[in-house]
Amino acid sequence: MMLAHISPRYYGAAALALVGVQIAILHMLGQPFLSASGRILLWVNDPWSPEMSQQLADWYSFSHIIHGFVFFGVLRLIAPGLPLGFRLLLAMGVEIGWEIMENSPAVIQHYRQQALAAGYVGDSILNSLSDVVMMSAGFLFTARVPGRAVIAIAVAFEIFTAVMIRDNLTLNVINLIAPSGWAPIAALHDWQAGAVH
């Protein structure tokens, strides 16, 4: 079957299968389906709240939308001939892979060394699923909007979240990959710890 002729329902079935794998593995890793409070909230504003990374949306949702921007751009560059639905499935696979890795004990422990994530226990499954939806929305948005506008929105999101919570996708990546004893990282953590809470 040629990829160009695959029915949308097959893409939908494949997307549901990916989400099913995500739920199963996160459950095996011990992540809860919902927040410990048992509540389901649309938005969590306080970055120090135990509800952060547990609910439908929070400040880090902007980062997941940017993931969608990036994945669309990379896949358009390296696989322009693939149908949009197939590229979205690939992006979902990468995002779900990250969600699983992010909720592994080693990565959770690494995040807990950061000022804003001192009490981080990983994502609820609800939040993790929402992160994949946010990425997918960013991906599909990028398919319909000029590239310059997407770049401008991504930069605006990064500046906005840096101002609001002293964190964003760029700082998150730096914190994740830089050596913990490196002086600039210590300075970054001090700056982030200075956020009002």
**What does the pLDDT look like over 158-194, one tens digit per residue?**
999 999 999 999 998 988 887 767 777 778 877 887 7
Q: Tell whether 7 is covered by a domain.
A: no
Cα 58 to Cα 19: distance, rounded to the nearest angstrom: 20
Q: Tell whether 87 is covered by a domain.
A: yes
Q: Tell whether 75 is covered by a domain.
A: yes
Mean local confidence (pLDDT), 75-103: 97
Give the list of residues 6+ apart from residue 1 with CB closer than 8 angstroms, or none. Answer: none
Query: Would you say how long the chain is, in residues?
Result: 197
Cα 11 to Cα 84: distance, rounded to the nearest angstrom: 10
Task: Quote the crossing angle between the two packed helices 169-177 and 183-193, to the nearest 10°.
Answer: 140
Mean local confidence (pLDDT), 87-96: 98
Quickly state the pLDDT bin for 113 (edges 50, 70, 90): confident
Task: Quote the crossing angle between the two packed helices 147-165 and 169-177, to the nearest 10°.
Answer: 70
Q: What is the total count of domains within the chain?
A: 1
Q: Tell whether 119 is covered by a domain.
A: yes
Q: Tell whether 37 is covered by a domain.
A: no
Q: Tell whether 21 is covered by a domain.
A: no
Four-point Cα dihedral 169, 172, 173, 177, nearest 10: 180
Its domain, for residue 131, covers: 52-193
Q: Tell whether 176 is covered by a domain.
A: yes
- Return phi, psi of residue 182, to 5°: -70, 130
| Chain Cα centroid distance, residue 129 | 10
Number of DSSP helices (H) and strands (E) in the chain, helices first: 8, 0
Beta strands in the chain (DSSP E): none
Q: Tell whether 141 is covered by a domain.
A: yes
pLDDT 10s digits, 31-62: 999 999 999 999 999 988 999 999 999 999 99
Quickly state the pLDDT bin for 2 (edges 50, 70, 90): low
Q: What SS3 class is residue 62?
A: helix
Cα 33 to Cα 39: distance, rounded to the nearest angstrom: 11
Cα 2 to Cα 164: distance, rounded to the nearest angstrom: 47
Find tokens 């997941």 and name the residue.
Answer: 64
